Structure formats: C-alpha cells, structure tokens
A and B are shown apart, each in its own frame.
Chain A
Amino acid sequence: MTSLELLALSPPGWGGLLLRGLVTSMTIAFGGYILGLAIGICGAFGKLYGGPVTRDLLACYTTIVRAIPELVLIVLLFYAGSDIVNHLLMFFGSPPIDINGLAAGIVVIGVVQGAYSTEVIRGAIKAVNPGQIEAGRAYGMGALLLLRRITLPAMLPFAIPGLSNLWLIATKDTALLAVVGFTELTMATRQAGGATKAYFLFFCTAGGLYLVVTLLSNAVIRVIERRACLGMPDVGHA
C-alpha cells in the first residue's frame, strides 16, 4: 500500500486511529494541565500563606515530584495509585471500582504538573508588587476578593512564560503514557507501525501532528501574552 493509502482516514488506512490517538492525547494533556493548575494555585498559596506544617509538606511534594523522572512517576501512580484507591475502598467495605484509563492518565499528568506549577505560580505571586496587595487590604478587601481582583490578574504576566512552558511539557508528557500501554498518539503510532511495518512513515506523521499542536499552542500563547502584558515593560524573551 502506498503511503497515502496507509494514512487514509478510514480503514484499511491508519490515519483515523492516529487522529483518535491525537484527540485522546490532547484530552489528557488539557485535563492534566487544568488539574495541575488547580493543584498549583492551592500549593502556591499553601507555601506562601500556610502554616509551617503545610509549607514543609508542600516542599516535600514539589521536591520529590520534581526530582523523580516523569516516566517513573507515571508508572508508579498508574499501578500503585489504583491499587491504593481499591485497597482504601475495600477497607471501607465498598466493592473495588475500576478506574477509567483516561481519568487515571489525567490524574497522573495533573499530579506531576501540579508540583511544577506550584513553583511557577509561587514565583509569580512573589513578583507582584507587595504595595498593591497592601493597598487592597487597606481598602478592606476580603481575602477572596483580594485574590480575584488584585493577586491573580497581577501575577498573570509573570506566570505566563512558565505556565505556557508547562502546557508544552504536558502535551509531550502524554507520550509517556504509551509505556504503560495506554493508547494515545505515540502508542497508536507504534501499533500502526507494528501492523504495517511502515514505522518511519507513521513516526514522522506523529511527529508532524505533535509539531502542529506545538506551533498552534505557541501562536495562542503569543496572543495571550500580548493581552496579559499590556502596559508592562518588555521582559526580553530568551
């Protein structure tokens, strides 16, 4: 079969399988990224304004997750995570549930991203002019109002380079789920290559798909950066 036939969208072409894998990858990347952001915001606030115990525990979390390779973390969380959940459920007398692969992938990527985004958001909040926060408090703003009106908008320009980098890392880390047998784009490419022996063609196609995602993401990030950094001095990009 020629290359174009192999890549066709419907069987016997493998293009459809690859695109489905891409959609799965992006779903996991998006879900994991959002979960990571949520964990990051909580973690950053815990580290900045929490008690000493909270700060130490969060420091352990970020240090350990950032020191261990993502592959090892993914394998650990994938196998051990569902095992622990099922043990806990059995301890409380409920029947074991089986965790959807997609959900497990999102949680795993989210936990890993959470450690990194904690550090990025913490750095960004520290870079906000403390005078602005003091002025907000002087006006009598409550904690939540302060967060919503002053802290979050002010820290966004500082956080965007780090957070956009984390998004790109999330899209690429989904490939590691192939090692635990989860069928996302990289695994689908391996399966297609294995069935047809046209490895080079399929891996180049998958590379092209990832590249398209990256370039699109870069364009979107540039737009967001311009909007968020209105009026700020140019930081000078690397």
Chain B
Amino acid sequence: MIAGRKLHRIVLVAIAAGVVAIVATRMRWDWLPDYYGILVAGIWKTLLILFSTVVLGFLCAVPLGLIQVTGPKPLALLCKGFCTVIRGTPLLLQLWLLYYGLGSLFPQIPEIRDSFLWPYLRQAWPYAVVALSMSFAGYEGEVMRGAFAGVPRGELEAARAYGMKPFTVLRRIWLPRALHRALPTLNGEIVLQLKSTPLVATITVIDVYAVISKVRQETYIVYEPMLLLALIYLCLTGILVLIFRYFENKIPAPEV
C-alpha cells in the first residue's frame, strides 16, 4: 500500500500544517500592517545588494583567478595574498574596517569633503557594496583559479595550434570552459552571499534584517518578527535554488 509507505510523510506534513496554523493564529501579528511597507522595501534592498555585489565581485574574481594561473609572479602573489586575507578574516570585521576604519581617517584629509565623492562617502551603502563585493571576489577568485587551472591543456594547445592569439584563446576557449566548470560551485556561492547580506544592517543599511530589528526594538516582541525573518530567508533561498536548478537543466553538465 502506497499510503503505508508514505504515511510518515503525510503525518509530518499534517504536523507542520498544524504548527503553522497555531503560529498564524495564536501569536501576535498585529504589527504587520504598520511595517508592511518598509518590510517590502527592505527585501528589495537585500536583493539589490545581493545581485550588485555578486556581479561586481564576479567581474573582479575572473582576473584574480586568471592572474594566479598565468600572470607574472609578483602580480599572482598579490592576488593570492588578497584572496588569502579576504578568506582568512571575518566579513563583519572587513565591513567594520571599511566603514569605521576609513571613516575615522576622513577628518584627517579635509580635501575629501570638497571632492565630488563626498555625498557617496557619507552614506553607508557604498561601503556595504564594496565590502561584500570584495568578499565575493576573494572567495570566487579561488574558485576561478581552480576552474582556469582545470581546463584541459589539450584544448588550449589546440587553440594555439589554430593560430589564435592569446586573447582570442581566452575569449573563445579558456574563459567559457572555466565558467562552465565553475557554474555549480558559483550557484552555491550566490546562496552563501545571500546569507552574508544581513551583516550590512550593522552599518545602518536598511535591509530586511534591519527592518525586523527595528520592529523588535519598537514593539518588544521577541519571536514573531524573527520567525517571519527566517521564513523570508527560507523563501528567498528556495527561489534562488529553484532558479539555478532550472538553468542547470538547460545547460549540459560539464564533463570532468
């Protein structure tokens, strides 16, 4: 009997539905209508930070990885040093170093206030974007290094034999093959980047975590806002994973 084999799953789903029903009715959700607007704005901000830092970080990661495989020794050492420092220190520390550390240097250089950059240096989001991008670049630089090093030499030699110039080899063979190898890892890393975004709330950027913190502090409710926050992140992660799985099915799997 199919029902017998899947009975435990039905029971589990029923229990989960029961828990959700209890949570939805017996706990305090009266604060939701008041904060709905800024909650949506916070979610939007989170997604914006996620995608901008992923794109910027990846654009930096490609040269970081490439130089470590090909490039001149001193430059390669520099890139390796950058990746080691980024991967060896907590993201929170890097974020605070940029925001508070650089911020404490500003008063000592009065020319900065008159420059055109000042309106941007005053706000918090540029620091968040730079720190998260640098972090993503550091981790992905390592991944891309492995990807570039792992492309079979035979293909690169064949391309050279065809008379392609080095840049053409890079553009037509090396980069696409490396990207293809790195794709599954990159998908996982983007989900990890989503989990790094709440840290920007500590430097006054209003993402969804900052909004929920505000709700907690103004209403003194302990559980309900955090449960909603956990649910929001679960949904965001789930949507990201589904999108990646859809694209992975469209692209043929790389042969190792």
Q: Footprint of B on A, CB under 8 Å?
A: 51-53, 56-57, 64, 67-72, 75-76, 79-80, 83, 168, 172-176, 178-179, 186, 189-190, 193, 197-200, 203-204, 206-207, 210-211, 214-215, 237-238
Contact = CB atoms under 8 A, between A and B. Distances in A.
12 contacts: A68-B234, A72-B229, A76-B230, A83-B222, A175-B90, A175-B92, A175-B93, A179-B202, A190-B100, A199-B96, A199-B97, A207-B93
Interface of B: 8-9, 12, 84-85, 87-94, 96-97, 100-105, 142-143, 145-146, 194-199, 202, 209, 222-223, 226, 229-230, 233-234, 237-238
B238 A67 contact: yes
A56 B12 contact: yes
Contacts of A190: 96, 100
B197 A200 contact: no
9 residue pairs, one from A and one from B, having the closest CB atoms: A214-B88, A175-B90, A238-B146, A200-B101, A69-B195, A203-B97, A172-B90, A67-B237, A199-B100
Contacts of B85: 207, 211
A172 B91 contact: yes
A147 B136 CA distance: 39
Contact of A67 (B88, B97, B196, B233): B233
B195 A200 contact: no
A181 to B, nearest CB: 12
A53 B238 CA distance: 23
Interface of B is mostly: helix
A49 B209 CA distance: 38
A210 B104 CA distance: 22
Nearest to A236: B150
Contact of A80 (B84, B87, B96, B226): B226
Contacts of A198: 104
Contacts of A72: 198, 209, 226, 229-230, 233
Interface of A is mostly: helix
Contacts of B103: 199
Nearest to B182: A238
Nearest to B85: A211
A238 B105 CA distance: 38
Question: Most chain-B CB neighbours within 10 Å: which of A52, A190, A203?
Answer: A203
Nearest to B236: A67
A52 B9 contact: yes
B243 to A, nearest CB: 15
Given A72-B198, A172-B89, A79 B96 contact: no
Contacts of A83: 222
Contact of A210 (B93, B202, B233): B93
B194 A69 contact: yes
A178 B8 contact: no
Nearest to B226: A76
A186 B96 contact: yes
Contact of A199 (B101, B143, B145): B101
Contacts of B233: 67-69, 72
